[in-house]
Amino acid sequence: MKLLPQLVRFVLPVLVLFSCAASFAASSPDRTQFGSDIHVQAGEKTADVTCINCSVYVRGQVSGDVTAIHGNIVLESGGAVAGDITAVWGNIRTESRTQNAGDLTAVAGSVHRDPQSTSAGDVTALEGTKWLLAIIVPPIIFVGGVIALIIWLVQRNRTGAPAPVYVQPGGQPSTRI
């Protein structure tokens, strides 16, 4: 009988926590996709937009940042972004009558801006895959070095001490004690 009150004491707070988290997630207009393009239609409003291995097309309003990894970002006519626009291994294109209050950054890609589009922030384009390699390769080498060091330390400590040598009366060495 003591199990039921303990179970209720544990389960009830967990259920309350999950219900609060679910209601908070339902009110959050952030959009995240993996492998499927995101379209923010005209008249639609959203917060941060994140797309991995896909592209983002903005015709509506984004109050946060727009990020695409291995995909393009297109700010279509009439679209507005209040935050930064970042594309890693992809291109950024802004059409006429678009507004961006943040920075435009393309790593291993390019930025194409229409002369009639406005951008309040900096525009940076690190074109070519060499930038992507310069960002990814050093951490991989560092992590590989740490792993090699750990393996070396384990192997060094794994070798045991040599067996003691016992010299029998008469001068013959033996490993038997």
Q: What SS3 state is found at 79?
A: coil
Q: What is the pTM of this model?
A: 0.63
Mean pLDDT, rounded, for 52-61: 95
Q: Whats the size of the chain, residue-wise? A: 177
Checking if the pLDDT of 15 tops 50, the result is no
Is residue 117 within 8 A of residue 99, CB to CB? The reply is yes
Q: What is the pLDDT of residues 106-128, one digit of tens each?
A: 988 899 999 999 989 899 888 87
Q: List C-alpha distances in Å: 36 to 70, 73, 80, 177.
A: 12, 13, 21, 72
Q: What is the pLDDT of residues 21-48, one digit of tens each?
A: 444 444 548 999 999 999 999 999 999 9
Is residue 106 within 8 A of residue 127, CB to CB? The reply is yes
Q: How many CB atoms lie within 10 A of CB 162?
A: 7
Query: Quick one: pLDDT at residue 141?
Result: 93
